[in-house]
Amino acid sequence: MFDKAIDAINNAQKIVVVQAENPDGDSIGSSLALEEILSDLGKNVQLHCPVDTPKYLRYIHGWDRITSDFDTNADLAIIVDTNAELLISKSLSMPGVRHFLETHPVIVLDHHATDSTLTFDATHVNQPVVAAGELIYNLAHTAGWVINPQAAENMLIAIMSDSLGLTTQNTTADSFRVAGELTALGASNSAIEERRREFMKKSPEILAYKGRLIERIEYLLDGKLAIIHIPWEEIQKYSDQYNPSVLVLDEMRLVEGVEVACAIKTYPDGKLTGKLRSNMPVSEQIAGYFGGGGHAYAAGFRVYDDYAVIVRELVEAADKSLRG
């Protein structure tokens, strides 16, 4: 599984590591882990993401080395934690980036079960693991690459972030084993958590906003579907402090009777994004109705349509998925 990726990395000197335009703890931790490992191999590594790292994720050491620049003089691109072209569309719109990806070796390291929508050739490395960070550990272990303490911490951050502390349904015995081995290599989950909690602290303004979001939650489909709408004005005002979706999405899912929770953001250009969390393994299926994807219990989508139309279609998709 890893042979082609290892050969491509060994044959490259300058490597650009690409994140999607919705960075999270897994994508950031995985990218920084690759930077550590590949730099120790003597590679020149650039970390690219077309958007700024949200403040609440800046507990991850090295976040400030991630840049919106894309080095088109690189020998190889590694796309981390996505195989969806829609999620790298901002990067593809930058001068020279699409041409680079169409004419240079590309590796995709991803753990999502959805089929790739990339329109350029790539070497896909996909495992049904809990996080891209776990996949990167397996890649490094197979290749015999040294994992220094900072790389170990970055991978542990990735795993703990995507698995919600090793509690999600797709967490396996291997996830615990890898977390243990990363701890033995120098990562400290308690130190990570101490920093994370500091950056997760909310201002009184954000706490008041969370209360207003909770008051606006809509319950549809006989209470089985909970929806919150986050308009552009609120995205602009609050996102730099805290992702509005993250403020309430898991609590929506834990309301009695709710099986699916969805936070919908609307943008001035007509774009609409949906973030799904569910208590039944239907999130990926629901997102698939809109061309999105993810995991059985957590997924997302992006469309260009009217909000009312999407809500109506979301109700239909959730109903079909919940009925099986």
Answer yes or no: is pLDDT of 54 > 90: no
Hey, is 272 helix, strand or coil? strand
* CATH topology (fold) of 3-197: inorganic pyrophosphatase (n-terminal core) (3.90.1640)
pLDDT of residue 294: 83
Q: Which residues pair with 274 in a beta bridge?
A: 264, 301
Distance separating the N- and C-terminal Cα atoms of the chain: 33
pLDDT one-digit tens code per residue, 247-267: 999 899 999 999 999 999 999
Choose among 60, 73, 76, 72: nearest CA to 27: 60
Where exactly does CATH 3.90.1640.10 map onto the chain?
A: 3-197
Q: According to the model, what pLDDT value does residue 1 have?
A: 82
Provide the pLDDT confidence category of residue 130 given band limits of 50, 70 and 90: very high
| CATH architecture for residues 204-323 | Roll (3.10)
The reported pLDDT for the residue numbered 22 is: 87
pLDDT at 86: 87
Of the pLDDT bands very low, low, confident and very high (cuts 50, 70, 90), residue 88 is very high
pLDDT at 293 over 90: no
The pair phi, psi for residue 3, each rounded to 5°, is -60, -50
Ranges of CATH 3.10.310.30 domains, the chain: 204-323
Residue 169 scores a pLDDT above 90 = no
**Per-residue pLDDT band at 114 (split at 50, 70, 90):** confident
Residue tagged 């979301």 (tokens) = 314
Q: What is the pTM of this model?
A: 0.89
pLDDT at 301 over 90: yes
What pLDDT, on the 0 to 100 scale, is given for residue 316?
A: 97
Confidence (pLDDT) at 296: 86
Quote the tokens at residue 221: 């489909």
Q: How far apart are CA 263 and CA 308, in angstroms?
A: 14
Mean pLDDT of 160-171: 92
Average pLDDT over residues 140-166: 97
- DSSP states of 104-152: S-EEEEE---SPP--SS--EEEE---S-HHHHHHHHHHHHT----HHHH
Is pLDDT of 241 > 90? no
The pLDDT value recorded for residue 265 is 97
